[in-house]
Amino acid sequence: MSVIVTGAASGIGRATAIEFAKRPLAGDQAKLMLVDRDEAGLASLIAELNALGAAAATCVADLMDPTAGETVVAATLAAFDGIDALISNAGAIHMVPLAEISTGQFDMLMNINARATLVLGQAARPYLAKSRGAIVATASTAAENPIIPLGAYSASKAALVMLMRQMAAEWGPEGIRCNCVSPGPTHTAMTAASYDDPEARAARAAEIPLGRVGAPEDLARAIRFLAGPDASHISGVNLLVDGGISANIATSKSSAANKIENK
Ligand code: NAD
């Protein structure tokens, strides 16, 4: 089973590649195409995947390049036969209020967080149709909840969630399932500046019903589920993997709701 994982050099993408290697979806060996612009990060993963019994190849690409989809698919077909799943996970963030964000920063977030999945999906589509495969994209709880100062990031992830619903509608008849996972607060390189600090991590955990900040492996298991046969009749969903924080808006730290009472 041949799986493309983008953003594989770090965090959720890295954990996802390891999850597929440990528990191949079909047969006894995962075939993993690892994609990132961080060449050293990809190289550092190969030995671990090989030790787990997986075949792995790398493609160094900047996924903001509109030709990146063709590049990644060509590299995958050169290494393996066909494509069974595309995990479009690479993403980026800017903590800038909407009043200050530049059009360049806004375009960058839309390109990596939404358009990259389109160009990858377009290039992989004929092969996914042949395998009756799946696309899983990593969105965010920010797609459904405004978070200050992540306005442009939230908008880009909302665009991604709708893109995947639209793909599910347009490409479902070809046998391709298209879904999102949405991480809540998750401890990765992207959030290390916050969650490496145990006090900050504990403060965040206190806002999460399940009482902890997420780990990359929490997402990896959900991604593997959505990519695989156990999800064979699931398409167009956005699966929240957030410890319940999206269901818990009223208890966020600044909520005035805690002070409401009847007279
Ligand atoms: P991470 O920084 O650990 O990993 C992101 C990876 O994407 C990196 O290896 C980076 O090199 C790669 N990447 C970024 N831009 C790229 C580009 N233009 N071309 C190629 N590769 C590129 O972060 P993570 O937390 O594992 O993030 C994975 C996904 O999860 C992202 O889409 C992110 O938006 C999403 N997410 C993360 C959190 C969280 O709390 N960590 C929450 C919600 C959503």
Residue range 166-181: average pLDDT? 98
Going across the sheet that includes 134-138, the strands are 55-60, 31-36, 2-6, 85-88, 134-138, 177-183, 238-241
pLDDT of residue 4: 98
Residue range 174-194: average pLDDT? 98
Give residue 197's pLDDT band: very low, low, confident or very high (50, 70, 90): very high
How far, in Å, from the CA of 190 to the mean position of ligand 1? Answer: 6
What burial letters (b/e) apply to 133-146, b meaning 16+ CB within 10 Å? bbbbbbbbbbbebe
Percent of the chain residues past pLDDT 90, beyond the cut: 92
Q: What type of residue sits at position 138? A: T
CA 9 vs CA 46, 57, 72, 118: distances in Å = 10, 12, 15, 21
How far, in Å, from the CA of 47 to the mean position of ligand 1? Answer: 22
How far, in Å, from the CA of 150 to the mean position of ligand 1? Answer: 15
pLDDT of residue 28: 75
Average pLDDT value over all residues in the chain: 95
How far, in Å, from the CA of 222 to the mean position of ligand 1? Answer: 16
- Residue 157 alpha carbon, nearest atom of ligand 1: 34
Residue range 234-256: average pLDDT? 82
- CA nearest ligand 1 atom 30, residue: 138
Higher pLDDT, 105 or 257: 105
Give residue 257's pLDDT band: very low, low, confident or very high (50, 70, 90): very low
In whole angstroms, what separates CA 9 from the centre of its chain? Answer: 13
- Tell me if 149 sits within 8 A of 131, measured CB to CB: no
Binding pocket residue ranges, ligand 1, CB within 6 Å = 7, 9-13, 36-38, 41, 62-64, 89-93, 112, 138, 140, 183, 185-186, 188-191
Q: Say if residue 261's pLDDT is above 80.
A: no
Higher pLDDT, 252 or 97: 97
- Residue 41 alpha carbon, nearest atom of ligand 1: 9
pLDDT in tens, 24-63: 998 779 999 999 999 999 999 999 999 999 999 999 999 9
pLDDT of residue 250: 56
Which residue out of 127, 156, 157, 235 is catalytically annotated? 157
Which two tokens mark 100? 């200050």
Catalytic (active site) residue 22: no
* pTM attached to this predicted model: 0.96
List, in order, residues 6 or more apart from 262 with CB less than 8 Å away: none
Please tell me the distance from the alpha carbon of residue 212 to that of residue 209, in angstroms, as a whole number.
Answer: 8
Catalytic (active site) residue 157: yes
pLDDT in tens, 62-101: 999 999 999 999 999 999 999 999 999 999 999 999 999 9
3-state secondary structure of 241: strand
Neighbouring CB atoms inside 10 A of 229's CB total 9
- CA nearest ligand 1 atom 23, residue: 190
Residue range 110-135: average pLDDT? 98
Residue range 112-141: average pLDDT? 98
Residue range 226-254: average pLDDT? 88
Which residue out of 2, 10, 88, 140 is catalytically annotated? 140
Q: Say if residue 141's pLDDT is above 50.
A: yes
Catalytic (active site) residue 153: yes
How far, in Å, from the CA of 261 to the mean position of ligand 1? Answer: 42
Q: What type of residue sits at position 239? A: L
Phi-psi region at 95: left, alpha or beta (left = phi > 0; alpha = psi -120 to 50):
beta
- CA nearest ligand 1 atom 21, residue: 36
pLDDT of residue 248: 84
- Residue 189 alpha carbon, nearest atom of ligand 1: 3
- Tell me if 219 sits within 8 A of 183, measured CB to CB: yes
Please tell me the distance from the alpha carbon of residue 125 to that of residue 129, in angstroms, as a whole number.
Answer: 6
